[in-house]
Amino acid sequence: MILTQFQSIGRALSTRGLVSSHSGNLSVRLGERLIITKRGSMLGSLEEHDLVETGIDRNDRHTPLASTELNTHRAIYQRTPGMAVVHAHCPHTVALSFTEKVIVPRDLEGMGVLQKVPVVRLSASSGGKTLEDLISDALSESRIVVVEGHGTFAIGQLLEEACHVTTALEESCHILYLLKASGPRAAVRGSGARLRS
C-alpha cells in the first residue's frame, strides 16, 4: 500500500518533468518514524528497496541509506503537522526563486490552491538559522515553500496532497514566467483580466 503511493507520486513528478532522473525525494510519517526514499533513488521507477524506514528523532542502522534531504524531512515533521513531504525541482518555480521573495499565483487555479508562497534563502540576515530551520518555519505557515535555486518542499496529510500543491505551484510559476517574458504590459493586462472575471 505505501509502496504503491510512493510509486504513483514518483511517476507523476517524473512524467511532468518536476524531478530529474535521480533528484527529488518523498517521505511519510509513521508515528515517531518515517519512510523516505533512498539516497539516489529514481522517483519515476521506485521499488520496495528504494524506501528506507528510520527515526524522526534518532538515527539507526538504516539512516545512512536515506535521502540526503533526511534532516530537512525530520525538521518538517518535528515542527509542522505534515504527515507527508514531497521535495521536487520544478524548473519554472526554481527560475522565479532567483528574483522573487514571495510567489503569488495569478491564475485562478493557483489562487484557489495557494496563497502566497515564501521563497527562503540562507543569508547573513538568517540569524544563524540553518536551511532546515528556514524551511520548517515557513511550512508552519504555508503548505509549500521554495528554496532559492533548489526546489520546493510541500506538506500534506497524504503524498497526493503534497504533490497536488507542488504541481499547482509549478503551473502557476509557468504562467508567471510567460507573463514576465511577454513584458510589463502583458502583466498589467493579465492583472486587469483577473479583476474583471
Per residue in 105-134, pLDDT tens? 999 999 999 989 999 998 766 677 899 999
Whole-number pLDDT of residue 182? 84
Mean pLDDT, range 185-197, rounded to an integer? 44
Query: 21: how many CB neighbours lie within 10 A of its CB?
Result: 11
Closest to 32 (Cα-Cα) out of 78, 79, 80, 66: 78
* Percent of the chain surpassing pLDDT 90: 85
**pLDDT(91) > 50:** yes
Per residue in 41-66, pLDDT tens? 999 999 999 999 999 999 999 999 99
Q: How confident is the model at residue 148 (pLDDT cuts 50, 70, 90)?
A: very high
CATH number at residue 110: 3.40.225.10
Domain that holds residue 60: 2-196
What is the C-alpha to C-alpha distance for residues 90 and 4, in angstroms, rounded to an integer?
A: 23
**pLDDT(33) > 50:** yes
Domain count for the chain = 1
